[in-house]
Amino acid sequence: MTPKGIDPLPIQRWTNKHQNFTHDLVQDASFKLYNPPGDKYRDRYHATTKNFQWLIDHATTHHLKLRAMGSGWSFNKVGVTEGGLIDTASLNFSFPITTKYTSNRYAKNPEDLYFLQCGTIIHELNTRLSAKRPQRSIKASGASNGQTIAGALSTGTHGAAFKVGAIQDFVVGLHVITGANTHIWLERASYPVASQDFVDWLDADLIRDDALFDAMVVSFGSFGFIHGVMIETEPQFLLTEHRVGPMLYDDAFKEAMRTLDFSSLNLPGTGQNGELYHFEILINVHDFQADNLDKGAFVKYMFKKPYEESHTPLQRNNDFTYGDDLLGIISTVLDKLPGSGMIIPGLVKIMFGLAFKPQPPQIGTIREIFNYTKFRGKVASAAMAIDVRDSPKAVDLIVDINKNRPFPGGLSLRYVKGTRATLGFTKFPNTCVLEMDGADGGTARNFFRDVWNRFEQENIPYTLHWGKINFNLNSSRIKKMYGDHAVKSWIDARNQLLDQSALPIFNNEFITNCGLDQVRTIV
**CB under 8 Å to 305, separation ≥6 — which residues?**
237, 238, 240, 273, 274
472-504 pLDDT, tens digit each: 999 999 999 999 999 999 999 999 999 999 999
Q: Percent of the chain beyond pLDDT 90?
A: 74
Strands 94-96 and 113-117: antiparallel
34-57 pLDDT, tens digit each: 999 999 989 999 999 999 999 999
192-220 pLDDT, tens digit each: 999 999 999 999 999 999 999 999 999 99
Task: Give how far Cα 339 sits from Cα of 342, 350, 401, Å.
Answer: 6, 19, 18
What's the rounded mean pLDDT across residues 57-84? Answer: 90
Whole-prediction pTM: 0.93
pLDDT at res. 271: 86
457 SS3 class: helix
pLDDT at res. 344: 65
The sign one gets for the Cα dihedral 91, 416, 143, 274 is positive
348 SS3 class: helix
464 SS3 class: strand
What's the rounded mean pLDDT across residues 438-465? Answer: 94
User: Could you tell me where the beta strands, DSSP code E, fall in 100-198?
Assistant: 113-117, 136-137, 171-177, 183-187
Q: Measured between alpha carbons, how far apart are the two ends of the chain, in Å?
A: 38
Q: Is the pLDDT of residue 177 over 70?
A: yes
What's the rounded mean pLDDT across residues 174-194? Answer: 98
What's the rounded mean pLDDT across residues 268-287? Answer: 91
379-418 pLDDT, tens digit each: 788 999 999 999 999 999 999 999 999 988 889 999 999 9
pLDDT band at 160 (very low <50, low <70, confident <90, very high): confident
pLDDT band at 62 (very low <50, low <70, confident <90, very high): very high
Nearest residue to 144 via CA among 158, 156, 132: 158
Tell me the pLDDT of the chain averaged across its residues. 90
pLDDT at res. 146: 77
Tell which wins on pLDDT, 521 or 40. 40
419-429 pLDDT, tens digit each: 999 999 999 99
Domains of the chain with CATH codes: 6-235+487-513 (3.30.465.10), 237-472 (3.40.462.10)
What is the edge-to-edge ordering of all strands in the sheet holding 171-177?
94-96, 113-117, 225-232, 171-177, 183-187, 205-208
Residue 174 bridge partners (DSSP)? 186, 229
pLDDT at res. 403: 93
Q: Is the pLDDT of residue 328 over 60?
A: no
**Across the chain, which distance is largest between two alpha carbons, in Å?**
69
Strands 66-68 and 84-87: parallel
